[in-house]
Structure 1
Amino acid sequence: MEDRRQHSRHHTELQLEVFDLHSGQCLGRVADLSADGFMLFSDKPHRADTVVECRLVSEQVIDGVGEIQLRADCLWSRPGANGQHCWAGFHIIDIEQDQAAALDVLLKHL
């Protein structure tokens, strides 16, 4: 499979959880992160080709950054081992300039 990423992804030791911006529902935990997107580990499957408005929330505030808001498109979703958890890949499609700068702060910390 061809890797089409423009930016390298970073595995994160930070606890970054993703929440739906409108419902507040937890969508899962970030497994890796880049300037273009993230891979999510979750209890529930996500539907591919679905756009979500969400908040990435860090358990630890890093250089003043504790939360980032963005819109992301779910590119793929797969069940984990024994169907207990799911993995999903999201591409960031809309992020305000100040939020992109906050994302850069987190990426530099990883």
Structure 2
Amino acid sequence: MEDRRQHSRHTPELQLEVFDLHTEKRLGRVVDLSTDGFMLFSNCPQVADALLECRLVAAQAVEGVSEVKLGADCLWSRPGADGQHCWAGFHIIDLAEDQAAALEVLLRHL
């Protein structure tokens, strides 16, 4: 399978949780991250082609950064092998300049 990513992904050693920006509902845990997107491991199914405004929240602040707010498009969603979890891939589509800088800080520490 051809890898079309423009930026390498990093598996976070730092725990990153994803929350819906408006409802504050926990959506899952980031299992890999790049400047372009992330893969989410979730307890609830995600909808492919859905747009999401969310917060990536670090368990511990890094260089003063504890969260990144962004908009993302769910490119795909698949059930986990156990039938109780879900994997989903998101493309980052909206990221303010200050949030892009915060994301770069987190990426340096992964």
| Ranges in structure 2 where 5+ consecutive residues have no aligned partner | none
Query: Which deviations, in whole Å up to 9, do the C-alpha atoms of 1:32-66 show, x marking residues without a partner?
Result: 00000000000011000000000000000000000
In the TM superposition, what are the counterparts of 1:1-110 in structure 2 within 5 Å? Answer: 1-110=1-110
Q: Aligned partners of 1:52 and 1:71: how far apart in 2?
A: 6
| C-alpha separation in 2, matches of 1:94 and 1:24 | 18
Question: Which consecutive aligned stretches of 4+ in structure 1 deviate over 2 angstroms post-superposition?
Answer: none
Paired letter, 1:20: D
Length-normalised TM-score, structure 1: 0.98
Q: Tell me the distance in 2 between the aligned counterparts of 1:14 and 1:74.
A: 22
- Aligned pair count reads 110
- 1:82 alignment partner, SS class: coil
Q: TM-score, normalised by structure 2?
A: 0.98
* SS of alignment partner, residue 10 of structure 1: coil
Please report the RMSD computed on the Cα atoms of aligned residues, expressed in angstroms. 0.6
Distance (Å, rounded) in 2 between the aligned partners of 1:77 and 1:2: 18
Task: Give % identity.
Answer: 73
Instruction: Report the alpha carbon displacement of residue 14 of structure 1 after superposing the two structures with TM.
Output: 1.0
Give SS of 2:14's match: coil
CA distance in 2, matches of 1:25, 1:49: 19
